[in-house]
Structure 1
Amino acid sequence: MTKLREGGPFSIIFAFFLGLLLTAFIGVGVNTFHPSPAEPLERQMRALGSEERQLEGGRPAAALSADEQAQMRSIRDSVEVLSRRAEQVSEGWARSTSLILIAFATLAMAVAVLRADQLSTLSNGLLLGGVFTMLYGVGLILATGTSMARFIAITLALVVTLGIGYLRFVRRRGGGLPVERPMAEAAVLNGLEARVQAIEAQLEGIRKALIARD
């Protein structure tokens, strides 16, 4: 049975899968407990649209009576009002959701940094999950937010990323801690060394065979 080594391919796959699963968990959790307030408005717009289609009945506008045309205008005005309202509440929801996602991403990345030495594979998965969640939150505000909200969200993401990167890569090396060769790199180098030795042995055998033939 294959033994899983720290830093090996199975460990990398597990860390990547853990990052994706953590991102999905955070996203589903936030949407479950912090749903968009625009959903009820969108349901009302769909109901009004269905009512409009039933009233129209596939007939051209000229074939409608005066009362039916007045009802059509009332329905369309209501849809327009609901659409503007849904857009406004969606922007507010996107801002708050983006901040929540960035907060969870910061938490996951902080835990990954604090436990990097004890739980290498898990910390890598948490770090990836934090990065993916951060991208999710920033992408959400870029798609629906205003210019100021986008700037604030990107600024927060940049500050958090720089801070985590400093703690993870700069401070640990600057503190006099020995930087050990990763297990994956050592395995690759050992494999290359073995291949070089095999090629040298083959070349030596060819050289001896040519000398014996002469």
Structure 2
Amino acid sequence: MANALLSTSRFLSNPNREVRCMRNFQSSLYGKFSSKKIFIGREISRSYGGCKVVASVQVGRTVKNRETVIPEPDYRIPIVLLGLAGGLVYTDNLLPAAPVGLLGLLLLFQTTRVKFVFDPDALEVKIGDQLQESGENVFVGGKNRWKYSTFINWELWWPSFPILVYFKETQTKPEGQVHFFPVIFNGKQLYDVMVERAGPSKTSAPKES
């Protein structure tokens, strides 16, 4: 009995532990579990009756496995810009029509190829359906991949018709680096995954399209 109490005390006193059992088992309190992870902190590795224990659980908090999320493309902004350019041409305002039309064409092209990939740890910009690397950031340098843990602020403008997404991170430089991207993705999906991975924003969620 004393040995059992001592073993339990050692297990609970370890602040960082992940418990993973690769077979199904029954619990009178929680029902059936299968290959679940719970967070407590550091890692250990032992076997108890064929069940591997690897430990990593924060007490009082269950950690969910995050899936990779890629918001769907949204063509509304380039279509609006191209429509505006067409209207300007129709009214013989050719000078402003040219840059507006070119911007619309650029965003239309980017919408077909640029992907925001939210993996379990970071946001990364990738290219095409094959999710190819996007290379170095042309404005600030470094890879177009930023860990959620480095985000210190983000906003979505404007919620009802999102046009720009802004975020600031400390991965590129310690004092913080600002990024702006046109919202050429589904705004609702983008907002939801940003809230989940980077925490809440001051803006409200965009309306369903």
TM-score (norm 2): 0.20
Q: Using CA pairs under 8 Å that are at least 6 residues apart, name the structure with larger relative contact order, 1 or 2.
A: 1
**Larger helix fraction of residues:** 1
Q: Which has the larger radius of gyration?
A: 1
